[in-house]
Amino acid sequence: MERVSCIGYTIGHIASPHPGLVEFELSGPGRYWLVPVPGVRGGACSAILRTARLPGRGLHPPADVMALRKYVAGGRIARCCNLRQGFLLSVRLAALSGETEGEVVCRFDRHGLSLCLPDGRLILGQEGGRFGDGLSGEQCGHDAAGCEEGMHPEVDDGPLVRLFEEQKARVLRQMDAGIKKQRRLIENIGRDLEEFAGHEAVQRLGELVKSQLYKLRRGMDSVELEDWFSPGADGTVSTIRVPLDPLKDPGSNLEVFFARAARYRRGLVSAARRLDEIRLVLDRLEAERAACAGLACPAFSALPGQGPTPGRGGKPATVSLPAPKGGQKRALPWRTFVKEHVVILAGKSAASNAQLSLKVASGNDLWFHAKNWPGSHVLLRRKRKGHVFSEEEIHTAAVIALYYSEAKKFGREEVMLTEAKHVRRIPGAPLGAVSAAASRSLLVTLDDETVRAALASQE
């Protein structure tokens, strides 16, 4: 490891290749990059020299780097040494913005960066700390015993490697916690799916209770019913004991079974969709962790989860990207589903329903709505003139209309459809209320496969 005395070197460009790191370009008998490295696990800050620049993000530098560029860049180093509690850099300037010449002192320690001007003004850091009031730049933080020849910075990446490994270990721990959380969610949803898969059995119990409702009385905690759905091999009908809530009347007990079956059907669809989303997140996290584990110093900017370098005033810096041709793409007020020969549009609100049904729709488009229930207005439109709607396309639009309505919770309801030219606004009615003539109804059932196939083409 080579120690280099940087006294007399000229400071050129100052950059922040990564949050928490500052890099000084030094020109003299040799060319180096001086990097003060924060201490690991509460250790003292120390500076190292590198023969190559650190890779960076190229974003707007933070406020402390802007101050260093203003007061330090272009000066010659008068002192440069590692102290017991940090790193000291004293830069002599011929003139400082019209002020008298003197030394600008920079000190890096566990409290951060302090910057003291020749007249004793503290630009960065805390008053009353290492740099006291009224001290000159010649005196600010100077430790003569520490600036011996043996304390000059070394051309050694060891401290930088230790800092990188500490940050990488912290990122890996955070990613492991995220992966563990996603796996727990998958286990919980798997148990929910097993429970929701019994919706047919719960529906069957409800049908049995409905067919033998006369056997129920308030105060009963269970009832023995004949199981018409599972006859024996010889045709005999077995009995089954069904639990009841003794505080409810027979009608309320009956509603419990059908409501639970409907809830299980809805949960089966939403839980399956949620499970797919979580698996995608888990795959992405595992891929990012594998990539992070293979990183080596000094790839600070490649560590996942590292935010952008702060801008002026410590605020996050933003990168201005050129706007796409034709301007920004605005979000449509309705949902769009694109199939091979048709496009399906579904309103998101009363206003978008009114706009979709009364302004966007063409005369031969098919219009769908859940019968007698609030919900989205849905349009089935041709991509090219002359196309004849297939039964599959009509059924898909009807499923979307039922899915985006309040009737979704029942899992099975009627959906009305008609040509869009028969849809009229109702005078004096609330926004989005329309009347539809020449309509017919379709009985639609929502199940996991049907909903997933219908929603798969959403843009």
Q: Residue 125: pLDDT above 60?
A: yes
d(CA 178, CA 180) in angstroms, rounded, equals 5
More confident residue, 50 or 181: 181
Q: Are residues 181 and 129 in the same domain?
A: no
Evaluate whether residue 130 is within a structural domain. yes
d(CA 169, CA 38) in angstroms, rounded, equals 16
Evaluate whether residue 172 is within a structural domain. yes
Q: How far is CA 185 from CA 182, 194, 273, 305, in A?
A: 5, 14, 13, 22
Q: Are residues 133 and 184 in the same domain?
A: no
d(CA 200, CA 262) in angstroms, rounded, equals 10
pLDDT at residue 110 in the model = 73
Q: Are residues 110 and 229 in the same domain?
A: no
The C-alpha angle 215, 218, 223, rounded to 5 degrees, equals 40
Residue with tokens 């600010």: 140
| Tens-digit pLDDT profile for residues 129-153 | 444 333 344 444 444 444 544 467 7
Q: Are residues 264 and 365 in the same domain?
A: no
pLDDT at residue 97 in the model = 46
Q: Are residues 96 and 117 in the same domain?
A: yes
d(CA 315, CA 271) in angstroms, rounded, equals 39
Q: Which of 48-52, 127-131, 326-330, 399-403 has the lowest mean pLDDT?
A: 127-131
pLDDT at residue 100 in the model = 47
| Tens-digit pLDDT profile for residues 12-36 | 888 888 777 888 888 888 888 888 8
**Average pLDDT value over all residues in the chain:** 81
Are 374 and 417 in contact by the 8 Å Cβ rule? The answer is: no
pLDDT at residue 304 in the model = 67
d(CA 119, CA 139) in angstroms, rounded, equals 10
Residue 119's pLDDT band, with cuts at 50, 70 and 90, is confident
Evaluate whether residue 328 is within a structural domain. no
Query: What does DSSP assign to residue 324?
Result: P
Q: Are residues 113 and 85 in the same domain?
A: yes
Q: How many domains does the structure of the chain reveal?
A: 3
d(CA 403, CA 453) in angstroms, rounded, equals 12
| Tens-digit pLDDT profile for residues 44-103 | 677 778 888 887 766 677 888 888 888 888 888 888 877 776 777 778 775 444 444 678
Q: Which residues are CB-contacts of 342 (< 8 A; sequence separation ≥ 6)?
A: 380, 381, 382, 383, 387, 389, 393
Q: How far is CA 448 from CA 2, 196, 197, 239, 266, in A?
A: 68, 11, 11, 32, 9
Q: Are residues 23 and 107 in the same domain?
A: yes
Tell me the pairing of strands 440-445 and 46-50. unpaired
Determine if residue 266 is left, alpha or beta; phi over 0 gives left, psi from -120 to 50 gives alpha, anything else beta.
Answer: alpha
> CA end-to-end span of the chain, whole Å?
59
Q: Are residues 148 and 251 in the same domain?
A: no
pLDDT at residue 187 in the model = 93
Evaluate whether residue 321 is within a structural domain. no
Give this prediction's pTM.
0.51
Q: Are residues 96 and 137 in the same domain?
A: yes
What is the CATH number for 52?
2.30.310.10
Average pLDDT over every residue of 399-424? 92
Of the residues 243, 274, 293, the one at which a domain ends: 293
d(CA 207, CA 213) in angstroms, rounded, equals 10
How large a percentage of the chain has pLDDT more than 70? 82
CB neighbour burial string for 346-364, b if at least 16 within 10 angstroms, e if fewer: bbeeeebbbbbbeebbeee
DSSP secondary structure letters along 223-289: EEEEEEEEE-TTSPEEEEEEE--TTS-HHHHHHHHHHHHHHHHHHHHHHHHHHHHHHHHHHHHHHHH
Query: What does DSSP assign to residue 41?
Result: G
Evaluate whether residue 307 is within a structural domain. no
Q: Residue 244: pLDDT above 60?
A: yes
| Tens-digit pLDDT profile for residues 268-322 | 888 888 999 999 999 999 998 898 888 887 766 667 655 444 443 444 433 333 3
Q: Are residues 136 and 189 in the same domain?
A: no
Evaluate whether residue 316 is within a structural domain. no
What is the CATH number for 245?
1.10.287
Residue 1's pLDDT band, with cuts at 50, 70 and 90, is low
Evaluate whether residue 303 is within a structural domain. no
d(CA 59, CA 318) in angstroms, rounded, equals 8
| Tens-digit pLDDT profile for residues 339-365 | 989 999 999 999 999 999 999 998 889
Of the residues 233, 267, 293, the one at which a domain ends: 293
Evaluate whether residue 423 is within a structural domain. yes
Of the residues 126, 155, 184, the one at which a domain ends: 155
pLDDT at residue 396 in the model = 93
pLDDT at residue 49 in the model = 82
pLDDT at residue 342 in the model = 93
Residue 55's domain comprises 2-155
Q: Residue 174: pLDDT above 60?
A: yes
Helix (H) or strand (E) holding 423: strand 423-425
Q: Are residues 271 and 363 in the same domain?
A: no
Q: Are residues 148 and 273 in the same domain?
A: no
Are 337 and 454 in contact by the 8 Å Cβ rule? The answer is: yes
d(CA 49, CA 32) in angstroms, rounded, equals 6
